[in-house]
Amino acid sequence: MNKIGYFGPKGSFTEEAIHLFIAAHSEFSETLPELISFPTIPRLLLACENNEINWAFVPLENSTEGQVGATMDTLGQTEHLFITHEFIYPIEQCLLTLQPMPLQQIEKVYSHEQSLGQCRDFLEKHLPHAQQIPCLSNSEAARKISSSQGNCAAIGPRRAACIYNLHILQEGIQDIVLNATRFVLVGHALADMSDGENKTSFLIVAENTPGSLYRILGEFSKRQINLSRIESRPSKRKLGEYIFFVDVDGYVFAPPIQDVLWALKEANISVKLLGSYPKALSAEQ
């Protein structure tokens, strides 16, 4: 039986999304895989690299808060993992409490740092007096308040309220209505080219010299390859040095993309393939 690890524990948005992802992909839904939760994203991806599980399902970016740094950093450090699928999941944040209470009585709010950021305006407007406490996950936050005796709240999905027997004090508290997270499935082999639209992800290490990023982007531009995403992360080697995560439209073996890779190699620019996979529908679709 295939094993898919996900960022858990139960009651997280990732767990909600993985069930919908499996239902939407017949290669997984016909023979249901074993789902295994992991407490952190690095531990999950490293377990996949070490063949403890077949696949890892992780959040990559959110439409409100941007990149999930732990996912990007760990993908950049692994050697034999590839993104094989992406999945766009709308995120509706709920304010959860052990029992009904007025907002002004809430003293602490627990949640994952991404969720706290997605609800920043709500928290500033309605709970400016409450201490915000980051947790490893939304489900961990829900678990904490389920056994708390204080006036505490958690931010998380409806599923967490069901699992931990919590009251949903308020729904839809995220600042942006069309709040969505892009999840990716990571495995050990490159995905086949799909009949529809494809996307390819790279990690590019550029020298810290004037015009280096311009030269990289120019190689894609002159071949009319669309860059749908480019984000930087610290290289973790020295201050001011960055690596770039790039998504482009098309499959990696398409001649124009191969031409770019050859040109970058000739320019001594390091490129790591993170995956080439079917392009997912947006949250609005």
Helices (H), ranges, 5-60: 13-24, 26-29, 41-49
How far from each other are the two terminal CA atoms of the chain, in whole angstroms?
32
Q: Residue type for 120, please?
A: R
Check residue 285 and give its pLDDT.
45
Measured distance CA(6)–CA(12) in Å, rounded: 10
Give the pLDDT confidence score for residue 284 in this predicted structure.
Answer: 47
Per-residue confidence (pLDDT) for residue 1, from 0 to 100: 67
* All domains of the chain in start order, with CATH: 3-90+179-187 (3.40.190.10), 94-171 (3.40.190.10), 198-278 (3.30.70.260)
Per residue of the chain (285 residues), what is the pLDDT tens digit? 689 999 878 888 999 999 999 999 988 888 889 999 998 999 999 999 999 999 999 999 988 888 898 999 999 889 899 999 999 999 999 999 999 999 999 999 999 999 999 999 999 999 999 999 999 889 899 999 998 878 999 999 999 999 999 999 999 999 998 889 999 999 999 999 988 899 999 999 877 777 778 888 999 999 999 999 998 888 777 776 778 999 999 999 999 999 999 999 998 888 999 999 999 876 444
Query: Which pLDDT does position 75 carry in this prediction?
Result: 92
Give Cβ neighbours of residue 278 (< 8 Å, ≥ 6 apart): 85, 86, 191, 194, 196, 197, 198, 199
**pTM recorded for the entire structure:** 0.86
Query: What is the rounded distance in angstroms from the CA atom of residue 166 to the CA atom of residue 98?
Result: 5
Q: Which two tokens stand for residue 182?
A: 């892009």
Q: What is the pLDDT of residue 29?
A: 80
CA-to-CA distance for 279 and 197, rounded, in angstroms? 6
Strands 3-7 and 34-38: parallel
The kind and range of the H/E element at 160 are: helix 158-163
